[in-house]
């Protein structure tokens, strides 16, 4: 039986950089999830459609899945393909949408934000191409949330999501599938598994930290079972509703245990970590950390060593705040390079149009045209493939890269949980003085250009404005300021700083000290302390 429930708009259901993300109790509040899901179904029109559904296993994932299934049935969907246990990593969901040629998919995740009854939950919609909904769609969903008056839900028992195979729910087919199998097959088609297997057989040691989040089952199957890495290579391998109390954000701060291991006495050859929903990655060599922007550049420069990319790349895309290291590689390879706003949705058109093959963000996200999301394990496997072919250490590969292309020192400073009005005031003041900045000298750093980044999509011509303030200095240094679109508490200011060097004697500095002049200039320009009361960032990556 289908029930129509009267409801009314709930303020603030505006999707951010990556879907709608809120505190779990907010999501569990009366009509909250239902209003958003009905608005989504109203916009994408559910009738007769097939969707993929899965999430990163965080608290409320299982209950939300049952609600979404009952609402999909009530709205006339023909079929939903669900990962067993309502689990799917974000890249695996993207792949399944494409493989099964569905009409899109719903992913339940707040990505790298902590999970639990008092932490974060989220819902995002992906399009038939497997990629995150573009702004036009998320805006339409948001508009719908402001006028919603009712939602539809089927009255039925829970679907048994532990049982593989087909079931029926109020006239809709529900197919429960193995969340790992198709994804693992895709990885086997892209990478030289026998070369990587031989490397592990030869004694190569790795530590993969899945941070009690979704990549555990994927990493155990692929690294330990299919590639022969030693049992126990994958740590924190079981997804838990609260991620074991960990903050599943793979960076040197939150994956400190992995950093300690790789910088410790008996360090393995290679370390990696991924985030809550499996789309991010951090890569560490023995005694050396690889910044995400450098990782993107190294992967782009060496991708042809993997079977899936042996024909070369079509182009390279990076988000605006990501360092220009990948641009150097594109120029050397004679490829187009693209600079997009923050958020994976902006890469979709470039990938669909065959203009770019590899994409990346400074926020530990790298991916390619194999899916339409960033993909943590993909990046880790591409690194393994490169290591297996080049038979060099991570440190050797990185040093050789810097010598050949120059080095873009890079860091991101996050100032978290700032009162929203103060963060907004700071950005407004900064935007107000952009034209006055040109020519200003900050201790020898002279501003050559300052603007508020706007992007015109080269494929569909859509325009996105106010994507972050960029201040460029003579000589290739740069500071970027923007506010996070994924936080759930106050505002998070992200300051991105970069400095480019080519001299062989300039390549071995500690990044924070190499960047100190740019950091000082950025603070002076934006008046960060004055507006926010903060002198030092909470997280440095
Ligand atoms: C952050 C990152 C951005 C990334 C987004 C989603 O957004 O900076 O690069 O695409 O998270 O990643 P923001 O607006 O907070 O800076 V995930 O792993 O949450 O899907
Ligand atoms: Co993520």
Write the pLDDT tens digit of every residue in 392-446: 999 999 999 999 999 999 999 999 999 999 999 999 999 999 999 999 999 999 9
Spatial contact of 473 and 447, defined as CB atoms under 8 Å apart: yes
Rg (CA), the chain: 23
Flag whether pLDDT at 135 surpasses 90. Answer: no
Q: Does 249 sit in the ligand 1 pocket, CB within 6 Å?
A: no
Flag whether pLDDT at 18 surpasses 90. Answer: no
CA-to-CA distance for 539 and 491, rounded, in angstroms? 14
Closest ligand relative to 363 C-alpha? 1
Using the atom order of ligand 1, give the atom closest to the CA of residue 482: 16
Q: Does 539 sit in the ligand 1 pocket, CB within 6 Å?
A: no
**Which whole number is the average pLDDT over 69-78?**
98
- Choose one of 293, 343, 410, 467 to mutate for the ligand 1 pocket test, by most ligand atoms within 8 angstroms of C-beta: 343
Of 18, 39, 89, 111, which one is the catalytic site residue?
111
Mean pLDDT score of the chain: 96
Going by C-beta distance under 8 Å and a sequence separation of 6 or more, which residues neighbour residue 317? 337, 338, 339, 340, 347, 350, 355, 356, 358, 359, 360
Query: CB count, 10 Å around CB of 165?
Result: 10
Spatial contact of 180 and 242, defined as CB atoms under 8 Å apart: no
- Report pTM: 0.94
CA atoms within 13 A on the CB side of 486: 20
- What is the predicted pLDDT for the residue at 359? 98
**Which whole number is the average pLDDT over 508-529?**
94
- Choose one of 18, 92, 292 to mutate for the ligand 1 pocket test, by most ligand atoms within 8 angstroms of C-beta: 18
Q: Give the CA-trace dihedral at 391, 215, 276, 141, to 10 degrees.
A: 110
477 classed as catalytic? no
Spatial contact of 383 and 389, defined as CB atoms under 8 Å apart: no
Hey, whose CA ends up nearest to atom 17 of ligand 1?
111
DSSP one-letter code for 212: T
CA distances from 226 to 41, 83, 223, 344 (A): 39, 21, 6, 29
Beta sheet of 365-368, edge-to-edge order: 336-340, 315-319, 358-361, 365-368
Using the atom order of ligand 1, give the atom closest to the CA of residue 279: 18
Binning pLDDT at 50, 70 and 90, where does residue 487 land? confident
Give 343 Cα–ligand 1 centroid separation in angstroms.
Answer: 6
Phi, psi of 371, rounded to the nearest 5 degrees: -140, -170
Q: Does 62 sit in the ligand 1 pocket, CB within 6 Å?
A: no
pLDDT in tens, 441-477: 999 999 999 999 999 999 999 999 999 999 999 988 9
Q: Does 293 sit in the ligand 1 pocket, CB within 6 Å?
A: no
Give 273 Cα–ligand 1 centroid separation in angstroms.
Answer: 16
Using the atom order of ligand 1, give the atom closest to the CA of residue 17: 14
CA-to-CA distance for 306 and 321, rounded, in angstroms? 28
Going by C-beta distance under 8 Å and a sequence separation of 6 or more, which residues neighbour residue 266? none
Q: Does 486 sit in the ligand 1 pocket, CB within 6 Å?
A: yes
Q: Does 120 sit in the ligand 1 pocket, CB within 6 Å?
A: no
- What is the predicted pLDDT for the residue at 376? 98
Share of the chain above pLDDT 90, in %: 95
Spatial contact of 88 and 179, defined as CB atoms under 8 Å apart: yes
- What is the predicted pLDDT for the residue at 181? 97
514 is written with which tokens? 């190499």
Flag whether pLDDT at 240 surpasses 80. Answer: yes
| Range of weakest confidence among 210-219, 311-320, 367-376, 481-490 | 481-490
Which of these, 520, 521, 523, lies nearest to 533 by C-alpha position? 523
Q: Does 274 sit in the ligand 1 pocket, CB within 6 Å?
A: no
Hey, whose CA ends up nearest to atom 19 of ligand 1?
111
- What is the predicted pLDDT for the residue at 416? 94
Pairing of strands 358-361, 315-319: parallel
Binning pLDDT at 50, 70 and 90, where does residue 485 land? confident
**Which whole number is the average pLDDT over 206-225?**
97
Domains and CATH numbers, the chain: 2-177 (3.40.120.10), 183-405 (3.40.120.10), 407-540 (3.30.310.50)
Hey, whose CA ends up nearest to atom 13 of ligand 1?
484
């Amino acid at each position: 039986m289908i029930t129509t429930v009267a409801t009314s708009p709930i303020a603030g259901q505006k999707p951010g950089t990556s879907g709608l993300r809120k505190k779990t109790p907010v999501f569990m509040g009366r009509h909250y999830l239902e209003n958003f899901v009905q608005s989504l179904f109203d916009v994408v029109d559910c009738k007769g459609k097939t969707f993929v559904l899965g999430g990163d296993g965080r608290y409320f994932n299982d209950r939300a899945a049952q609600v979404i299934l009952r609402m999909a049935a009530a709205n006339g969907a023909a079929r939903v393909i669900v990962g067993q246990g309502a689990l799917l990593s974000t890249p695996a969901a993207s792949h399944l949408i494409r493989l099964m040629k569905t009409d899109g998919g719903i992913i339940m995740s707040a990505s790298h934000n902590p999970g639990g009854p008092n932490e974060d939950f989220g819902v995002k919609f992906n399009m038939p191409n497997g990629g995150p909904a573009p702004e036009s769609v998320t805006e339409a969903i948001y508009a719908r949330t402001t006028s919603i008056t009712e939602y539809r839900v089927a009255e039925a028992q829970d679907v048994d999501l532990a049982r593989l195979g087909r079931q029926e729910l109020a006239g809709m087919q529900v197919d429960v599938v193995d969340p790992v199998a198709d994804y693992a097959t895709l990885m086997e088609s892209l990478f030289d598994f026998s070369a990587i297997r031989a490397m592990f057989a030869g004694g190569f040691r790795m530590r993969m930290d899945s941070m009690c989040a979704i990549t555990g089952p994927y990493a155990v199957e692929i690294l330990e079972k299919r590639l022969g890495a030693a049992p126990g290579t994958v740590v924190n391998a079981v997804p838990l509703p609260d991620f074991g109390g960990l903050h599943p954000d793979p960076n040197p701060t939150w994956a400190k245990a992995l950093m300690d291991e790789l910088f410790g006495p008996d360090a393995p050859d290679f370390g990696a970590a991924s985030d809550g929903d499996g789309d991010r990655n951090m890569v560490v060599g023995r005694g050396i950390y690889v910044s995400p922007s450098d990782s993107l550049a190294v992967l782009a420069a060496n991708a042809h060593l993997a079977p899936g990319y042996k024909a070369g790349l079509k182009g390279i895309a990076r988000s605006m705040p990501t360092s220009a290291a990948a641009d150097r590689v594109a120029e050397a390879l004679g490829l187009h390079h693209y600079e997009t706003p923050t958020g994976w949705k902006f890469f979709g058109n470039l990938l669909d149009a065959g203009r770019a093959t590899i994409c990346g963000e400074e926020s530990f996200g790298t991916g390619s045209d194999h899916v339409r999301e960033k993909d943590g394990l993909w990046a880790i496997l591409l690194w393994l493939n490169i290591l297996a072919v080049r038979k060099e250490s991570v440190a050797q590969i990185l040093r050789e890269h810097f010598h050949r292309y120059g080095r873009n020192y890079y860091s991101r400073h996050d100032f978290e949980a700032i009162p929203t009005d103060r963060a907004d005031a700071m950005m407004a003041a900064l935007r107000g003085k952009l034209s006055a900045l040109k020519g200003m000298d900050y201790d020898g750093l002279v501003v050559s250009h300052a603007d508020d980044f706007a992007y015109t999509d080269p494929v569909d011509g859509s325009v996105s404005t106010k994507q972050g303030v960029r201040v460029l200095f003579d000589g290739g240094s740069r500071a970027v300021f923007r506010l996070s679109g994924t936080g759930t508490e106050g505002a998070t200011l992200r300051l991105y700083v970069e400095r480019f060097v080519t001299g062989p004697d300039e390549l071995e500095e500690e990044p924070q000290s190499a960047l100190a002049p740019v950091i000082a200039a950025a603070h002076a320009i934006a008046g960060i302390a004055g507006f926010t009361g903060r002198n030092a960032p909470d997280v440095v990556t």
